[in-house]
Copies of this chain bind each other. A is one copy, B any other.
């Protein structure tokens, strides 16, 4: 088992990573305060891992809250169902919520924990690679609104994250690859040596080698945790984690949420952002090729969807990361070093989209 700490003063918490952790009672024990446990999970994850979690917290009163799978669970209706169940079970501030599942479950259960009785503790047990390397670190929780994703939410740090890489064995290939997109993003934006490591180990990761996965998850979490610790509430530095996301979110929105997985959209978005970095004179052509090659080897799309560049541009201008009406871009200065720019002309963005489609 590997462990690291997300340093946030009194709200610091550990992330444990390894194979077989999900049923490890000692990882849950410090967080059981006598008020019972509510496990929030999905229809798909429950039959696979709920029993193991229940055994690990045996002795505690357990309430199971099983919601439908997929992005549509990040809704008012599902959130209210979670609250109903928590209240029916008379959960109080000494109860613990366990978020067992992917990013959707983490966001939903985390937001429920953030707002139930003005905040109760929770533990993240991410069962997708995407959730293990991304959404379980940083305390962002949210549900969606018809007018935009993650529009309603809160910052609420978990007491601990238990990332069991063995749970990735049951993950569909496409979702594994989607998670790898965020792993690669951490390298491209923040750590050139990690990109080198990924280039050497991408095949092992695709074969779900536990040791390789443990390292990839740990290094991703370390990189994200370092930024989150410096900058808990999203601002300049945290924005670097959004490399590929301005384009990626536009792809997700333009294709209808769900058609492209988040990581797939981010992968194509990273190619666009790299092409834009090239056009801005920041990145070398050979580096753009490395970005494409690594994403391609990971089985991820390197071209965007069949959408007019104008459509993507339009969708980007209403992205909520836009500051004062002007879209900021996270660009690469080199492999492993991202930086923010807000002086990017629309014509260049259009040209980058076109270049990425070649």
Contacts and interface: CB of A to CB of B under 8 A. Distances in A.
A118 B142 contact: yes
B145 A83 contact: yes
B115 A154 contact: yes
Interface string A98-134: 0000000000000100111111000000000000000
Interface in A145-185: 145, 147-148, 150-155
A257 interface: no
B320 A147 contact: no
A92 interface: yes
B151 A117 contact: yes
A48 to B, nearest CB: 30
A84 B323 CA distance: 21
Contacts of A318: 90
B152 A83 contact: yes
A197 interface: no
Contacts of A84: 145, 147
A140 interface: yes
Interface string A299-325: 000000000000000000010101110
A155 B94 contact: no
A49 B94 CA distance: 42
Given A83-B145, A94-B324, A320-B92, A153 B76 contact: no
Contacts of A140: 118
A87 interface: yes
A119 B155 contact: yes
Contacts of A14: none
A203 interface: no
A153 B114 CA distance: 8
A34 interface: yes
Contacts of A117: 151-153, 320
Number of copies: 2
A220 to B, nearest CB: 22
Contacts of A88: 147
A293 interface: no
B87 A151 contact: yes
A205 to B, nearest CB: 31
A296 to B, nearest CB: 34
A2 interface: no
**Max chain B C-beta neighbours (<10 A), residue from A84, A111, A118:** A118
Interface in A21-39: 34-35
Contact of A87 (B116, B119, B147): B147
A153 B115 contact: yes
**Max chain B C-beta neighbours (<10 A), residue from A84, A114, A117, A233:** A117
A163 B34 CA distance: 42
A124 to B, nearest CB: 17
A80 interface: yes
B320 A152 contact: no
B118 A115 contact: no
20 contacts: A35-B324, A76-B80, A83-B152, A84-B145, A87-B145, A87-B151, A88-B147, A90-B318, A92-B320, A93-B320, A94-B324, A116-B151, A117-B151, A117-B152, A117-B153, A117-B320, A118-B140, A118-B150, A118-B155, A119-B154
A-B pairs, top 3 by smallest CB distance, nearest first, are A87-B147, A118-B153, A115-B152
